[in-house]
């Protein structure tokens, strides 16, 4: 996991999410990197994205409406890896597209495309055998989710077999709408960091550089998705310069957060 280690070793990392097949995905990915994103999450469009709010739901429908397939996503990933050899790339999505051909097939395709990690929202740690075993065997990190309802009894199960980083879902809800109180984020991050050496990245409800900077004072990474997806919705295939500009404001805020706090 050298790409993850490198990305998080520089200080708080900007982790950005967009949906594959929505807008000019290759241009938007390049724009995120140019804007200072440290880790990229690429969403796999799915008809029933249970964890996602209206913005990402709409992006899924736009991507599927264009006929985006799993093969297309791996082609996008492989081309990204060729252009950006050092930037960690994570596929985020749901179990059906990842397991319908068998977890070994999916894991092998991830490895072949240069994917570093996978977040599968609806395969819990208790069902690790459905995907996690195959991912680890292929050298791909199963990235786990912790939430405000993940208690001390369950946290060891969440962390068992996890890799890359731990994604803390800061609200008990869907992407893009609610925002967690900073105090609750600080408490949760401290609790999680006491339990794991994995970097802890915080997401869900982070929409502005100011919010991102506050979270970056305590977390190893900040995840921003819906706000970027909304820019793509507004500008379509011409979104890349707008994506880059917004990513830069986030990156500047996150990368400077601990310096400003010192």
Catalytic positions? 41, 52
What are the φ/ψ torsions at residue 70 (nearest 5 degrees)? -60, -35
Query: From CA 12, how far away is CA 213, in angstroms rounded?
Result: 9
CA 158 and chain centroid, separation: 17
**Nearest in space to 232 (alpha carbons), one of 15, 14, 16, 18:** 18
End-to-end CA distance of the chain: 29
Instruction: Specify whether the CB–CB gap between 223 and 247 falls below 8 A.
Output: no
Q: Which residues pair with 43 in a beta bridge?
A: 19, 92
Structure-token pair, residue 202: 């915080």
Query: From CA 206, how far away is CA 163, in angstroms rounded?
Result: 23
Q: Is 209 helix (H, G, I), strand (E, B) or coil?
A: helix
Q: Which residues pair with 95 in a beta bridge?
A: none
Radius of gyration of the chain (CA): 17
């Amino acid at each position: 996991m050298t790409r993850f280690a490198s990305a998080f070793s520089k200080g708080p990392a900007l982790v950005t999410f967009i949906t594959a097949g929505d807008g000019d995905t290759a241009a938007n990915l390049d724009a995120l990197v140019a804007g200072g994103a440290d880790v990229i999450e690429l969403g796999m469009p799915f008809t029933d994205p249970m964890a996602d709010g209206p913005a990402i739901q709409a992006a899924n429908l736009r991507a599927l409406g264009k006929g985006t397939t799993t093969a297309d996503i791996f082609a996008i990933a492989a081309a990204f890896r060729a252009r950006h050899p050092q930037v960690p790339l994570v596929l985020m999505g749901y179990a059906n597209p990842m397991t319908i051909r068998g977890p070994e097939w999916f894991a092998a395709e991830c490895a072949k495309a240069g994917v570093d990690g996978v977040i599968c929202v609806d395969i819990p740690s208790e069902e690790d055998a459905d995907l996690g075993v195959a991912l680890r065997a292929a050298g791909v990190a199963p990235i786990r989710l912790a939430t405000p309802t993940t208690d001390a009894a369950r946290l060891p199960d969440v962390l068992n077999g996890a890799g890359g980083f731990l994604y803390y879902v800061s609200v008990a809800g869907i992407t893009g709408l609610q925002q967690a109180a900073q105090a609750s984020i600080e408490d949760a991050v401290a609790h999680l960091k006491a339990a794991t050496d994995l970097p802890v990245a915080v997401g869900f409800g982070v929409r502005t550089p100011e919010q991102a900077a506050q979270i970056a004072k305590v977390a190893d990474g900040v995840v921003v998705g819906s706000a970027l997806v909304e820019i793509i919705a507004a500008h379509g295939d011409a979104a890349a310069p707008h994506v880059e500009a917004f990513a830069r404001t986030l990156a500047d805020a996150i990368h400077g957060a601990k310096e400003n706090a010192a």
